[in-house]
Structure 1
């Protein structure tokens, strides 16, 4: 897997989420749509920073990552906050992946309590899992944006 091409697709997902948050503005970006228990678009996008940092930084590269997955879903902030998180994240991801052998086993195994593939993965498999997560959450943020902009809020 070519590094720059892979990071391009991750960045497209983040840029799409950020664009949707910009359309919403900070207040709506932090509003959860119906039904009860749904997450705000900001929280979903913020969760994606945790996904990428943890799965690539910790699982693949072995870097220490202090992650509180549950709190990602209740995170609040501004689009500016998210942008200031994403840019340095990409610097770390590039460093984490620079020398990775795609077919090698990752340095760490995720805890069973984290949702993810139910089988051992190569580094390439972990990268695909991150892309899968970001792509699906990008779509979720876009749909949530549409719901919120059409006045379908609690």
Structure 2
């Protein structure tokens, strides 16, 4: 089974990769939709991923109260600096949540169906795997978005 340190290594790589892409694109390009059907902006995608981590790890695993507007995450825009700082804070809390997690324990709450998570009952370990799933898939997506934006500019 994967260790907590290994989980944090790979989840951190994906989150840091996305944060680096947004920072590297800067305010203008990070808030630009690439020329791909249905694409979000890199800024919005990172905002969504931070919402995923905060809700699934913070609320469902650690038991914190987390207010989340999933739909608004995809409309988010703004300067890159505060988003990068938020990503650092979220990453730090993820480390704490994973280190304190009891993987076999039941979730602290039931995720809303509208959040489009896995369609079966999860324990805390599985919720953390869902966090990794989201971070990994969106990191790859953001690499393509970055390449498309840079090729166009």
TM-score, length-scaled by structure 1: 0.90
More helix as a share of residues: 2
Q: Which stretch of structure 1 is more off in the superposition, 19-28 or 105-114?
A: 19-28
Work out whether 1:121 is the aligned partner of 2:104. Answer: no
Q: Structure 1 unaligned segments of length 5 or more: list them.
A: none
CA drift at 1:23: 3.1
Q: Is residue 58–residue 108 contact of structure 1 (8 Å, CA) maintained in 2? A: yes
State the SS of the aligned residue for 2:117.
coil
Alpha-carbon distance in structure 2 between the residues aligned to 1:64 and 1:12: 26
What residue in structure 1 maps to residue 89 of structure 2? 88
CA drift at 1:51: 0.3
CA drift at 1:92: 2.1
Alpha-carbon distance in structure 2 between the residues aligned to 1:87 and 1:144: 22
Q: Is residue 35–residue 149 contact of structure 2 (8 Å, CA) maintained in 1? A: no
CA drift at 1:89: 1.3
Q: Is residue 44–residue 137 contact of structure 1 (8 Å, CA) maintained in 2? A: yes
Measured on the aligned residues, the alpha-carbon RMSD in Å equals: 1.7
**Count of aligned pairs:** 152
What residue in structure 2 maps to residue 23 of structure 1? 24
Q: Which stretch of structure 1 is more off in the superposition, 102-111 or 49-58?
A: 102-111
Alpha-carbon distance in structure 2 between the residues aligned to 1:8 and 1:47: 20
CA drift at 1:34: 2.7
What residue in structure 2 maps to residue 130 of structure 1? 131
Q: Is residue 14–residue 134 contact of structure 1 (8 Å, CA) maintained in 2? A: yes
What residue in structure 2 maps to residue 40 of structure 1? 41
